[in-house]
Amino acid sequence: MDMTMETCRKFVEVLASDAPAPGGGGAAALVGAIGTALGNMVGSLTVGKKKYAAVEEEIIALKAKCDALQTELLNQVEMDEINFLPLAKAYGIPKDDPTRDKVMEEATIIACSTPLHIMELCCEAIDAIAVFAEKGSRLAVSDAGCGAVCCKAALQAASLNVFINTKTLKNRDVAEELNRKTNLMLNTYCQKADEIFNEVKAGFGQ
């Protein structure tokens, strides 16, 4: 079920229920899409303004990229549910079944794939928001800061959905590689999002 086709109220109601999805991953994807859209709004308010004519071409290209990122992040709400399903089923395999460990291992890796991809998309969004914050309309720069904060939250939320799964992997080489990728994105882009937020805040004399 594609929860992005429901109302915001319905999404939140289902999120708060005992339904298996959406969960943290789906919520992270939605928050990331919202953060990306906030940055994109700065671009929309920049294009067509004489004051920003020198950067218009760059902003238009960046807006097109963010349009694609928003769509892809929204798609991950459903993909997170789809890719969690094999793991949910695997937990139901009897513990004395000789195939259980192999099935669980494969399903756990699949479950990691969506939150990892959400993180990658959020990193791209933060890069784009940095440009919007620097070169976009000063009247909407607060929205760039808001977008950076949202994408950082989505990045961190998605990371926890990787870590909860890598913890149970028996193949520790695979687990550590997934953890390495996750931590690299966290360390690089949480800092970048914070820098955007602090620069925007400083611009208001705070």
User: Using one digit for the tens of pLDDT, what is the confidence trace for 135-157?
Assistant: 999 999 999 999 999 999 999 99
pLDDT score of 2: 84
pLDDT, position 39: 98
Radius of gyration of the chain (CA): 19
Domain assignment of residue 49, given as a range: 23-88+97-202
175-200 average pLDDT score: 98
Domain contains 14: no
Asked if the model's pLDDT at residue 130 lies above 80, the reply is yes
Mean pLDDT of 184-196: 98
- Does residue 59 sit within a domain? yes
Percent of the chain whose predicted confidence (pLDDT) is above 90:
95
CATH number at 73 reads 1.20.120.680
Assigned domain for 140 exists: yes
Check residue 42 and give its pLDDT: 98
**194 in a structural domain:** yes
Residue 16 belongs to some domain of the structure = no
DSSP state of 139: G
Number of domains in the chain: 1
Residue at 149 is within a domain: yes
Is residue 1 one of the residues assigned to a domain? no
pLDDT of residue 1: 67
Q: pLDDT band at 26, cuts 50/70/90? A: very high
76-92 pLDDT, tens digit per residue, is: 999 999 999 999 899 99
Residue 11 belongs to some domain of the structure: no
Q: How far apart are CA 134 and CA 43, in angstroms?
A: 11
Count of CB atoms situated within 10 Å of the CB of 58: 14
CB 151 within 8 A of CB 36: yes
**pTM for the full model?**
0.95
| pLDDT one-digit tens code per residue, 61-78 | 999 999 999 999 999 999
Percent of the chain's residues with pLDDT above 70:
100
